[in-house]
Amino acid sequence: MTDNLHHDYRAQLPDDLRAFIHAMPKAEIHVHLEGAIRPRTLFALAERHAALDELPAQDLAGLRRWFRFTDFPHFIQVYLTISALLRTPEDFAFIVRERGRTMAEQNIRYSELTVTPFTHVHLQEKNLTIDALLDGLEEGRRQARAEFGVEMRWVFDIPRNVNFDAAGAYDPWPSEQTLAFALRGLELGAGVVGFGLGGYEVDAPARPFAHAFAQAKAAGLLSVPHAGETMGAESVRSAVEDLHADRIGHGVRAMEDPAVLDLLLARNIPLEINPTSNICLHVYRRAAEHPFPHLDRMGLTVTVNSDDPPLFTTTLEEEYALLAVEFGYTKVDLARIARNAFFVCGLPPAEKARQLAEFDQWMKIALAWA
Ligand SMILES: [Zn+2]
């Protein structure tokens, strides 16, 4: 493995820019709860369940090495191992609280975390009901707010590939279940704000999910499918036209068709961009080839995110540092990108206005001194 994948961008910054990125109030709108678990949190979960033998390493250093991204099959293996150790409401409360700690360490004020409830309630045998899962998330969110002063909401996403059998036939059950879980979350006031579609786009087109997304939107959820990551611009078009996307997860491969870029511009659809994730998964060979600055200059509303940070050896601060090192983004540029995330997030209007006002207040002072 080359170390093309793992730069330490923060270390390459001048001190004042690194401090600026750290102190800047941040929102992150594309990050997976299961993929945000750190090695030491996973280690604690395994100890809690007396299941250290289910891990490939028996100590933290070994686990850290195993976490490091090598290729896609390994990535999926890590993901499933993590998911299998999330068994009780207390486990979810624990990882959500730990996420709150990570947020506070980076001055991330708000996270919109994607959760895949179908995996926990149905795919993996753990006798967990959706209400128990929602209870765990809510308890963790309450603790994180109380202890770290951070805010969170949830995106429930459909694992798209499990809706298709080997012959490519569509089975609506996983998407209908995920919809029912999201609506249950709404009913309980448990902080679900978005409905997503994740996984490998190849052989798993978006169109069959149109019905579930229409119902989710009618109930007041944002449509936030992944598209244009493992497939090209047509996948992005389908997310817009068939799923009426309010935002696109990734969307970077819209670059491959000017007509799709025009569609995104005309409908003013924001992109949740994850540069390091795209490099790890070979969407682009190196950061310098990533289209982030092009999409930004074109006038699209772009945000920067970390996707599955410990699995890609990154953090949200590291993603901002990447923009500065690779593309010469200044403090003013970085502040504009950071503001976009608050602006397009799924918080209720009053809460969003409060977060934006705090951001603007901080920026006024920080840039006056810049
Ligand atoms: Zn993602």
181 touches 117 (CB < 8 A): yes
**Nearest-angstrom CA–CA distance, 291 and 2:** 22
Q: What is the CATH number of the domain that holds 214?
A: 3.20.20.140
Residue 249 is assigned to a structural domain of this protein: yes
Task: Determine the distance separating the centroid of ligand 1 and the alpha carbon of 242, expressed in angstroms.
Answer: 20
SS3 273: strand
**Nearest-angstrom CA–CA distance, 232 and 251:** 9
Q: What percent of the chain has pLDDT over 90?
A: 91
pLDDT in tens, 187-205: 999 999 999 999 889 899 9
Task: Determine the distance separating the centroid of ligand 1 and the alpha carbon of 277, expressed in angstroms.
Answer: 8
* Model confidence band, residue 105 (pLDDT cutoffs 50, 70, 90): very high
339 touches 359 (CB < 8 A): yes
What string of DSSP letters covers 144-197?
HHHHH--EEEEEEEEEGGGGB-TT--B--HHHHHHHHHHHHHHHTT--EEEEEE
Residue 84 is assigned to a structural domain of this protein: no
What is the pLDDT at residue 125? 84
Residue 64 is assigned to a structural domain of this protein: no
* C-alpha distance across the termini of the chain, in Å: 39
Task: Determine the distance separating the centroid of ligand 1 and the alpha carbon of 24, expressed in angstroms.
Answer: 23
Q: Which domain holds residue 292?
A: 10-36+91-368
**Nearest-angstrom CA–CA distance, 193 and 191:** 6
pLDDT at 337 > cutoff 60 = yes
What is the pLDDT at residue 2? 40
* Model confidence band, residue 6 (pLDDT cutoffs 50, 70, 90): low
Contacts of 26 (CB under 8 A, 6+ apart): 106, 107, 108, 109, 316, 320, 338, 341
pLDDT in tens, 206-229: 999 999 999 999 999 999 999 999
List CB-based neighbours of ion ligand 1 within 5 Å: 307
Task: Determine the distance separating the centroid of ligand 1 and the alpha carbon of 278, expressed in angstroms.
Answer: 10
Residue 325 is assigned to a structural domain of this protein: yes
**Measuring CA to CA, which residue among 107, 50, 141, 72 is closest to residue 281?**
72
**Measuring CA to CA, which residue among 133, 152, 132 is closest to residue 144?**
152
The rounded mean pLDDT for the chain is 95
**Measuring CA to CA, which residue among 30, 28, 80, 26 is closest to residue 225?**
30
Residue 357 is assigned to a structural domain of this protein: yes
pLDDT in tens, 264-292: 999 999 999 999 999 999 999 999 999 99
Count: domains in the chain: 1
What residues are annotated to the active site?
229
pLDDT at 370 > cutoff 80 = no
Mean pLDDT, to the nearest integer, of 37-60?
A: 94
pLDDT at 1 > cutoff 60 = no
Residue 358 is assigned to a structural domain of this protein: yes
**Nearest-angstrom CA–CA distance, 222 and 342:** 15
pLDDT at 297 > cutoff 90 = yes
Mean pLDDT, to the nearest integer, of 154-183?
A: 95
**Nearest-angstrom CA–CA distance, 56 and 66:** 8
Mean pLDDT, to the nearest integer, of 126-133?
A: 95
Tell me the two tokens of residue 266.
């005309």
Residue 137 is assigned to a structural domain of this protein: yes
Residue 246 is assigned to a structural domain of this protein: yes
* Model confidence band, residue 45 (pLDDT cutoffs 50, 70, 90): very high
Tell me the whole-structure pTM to 2 decimals. Answer: 0.96
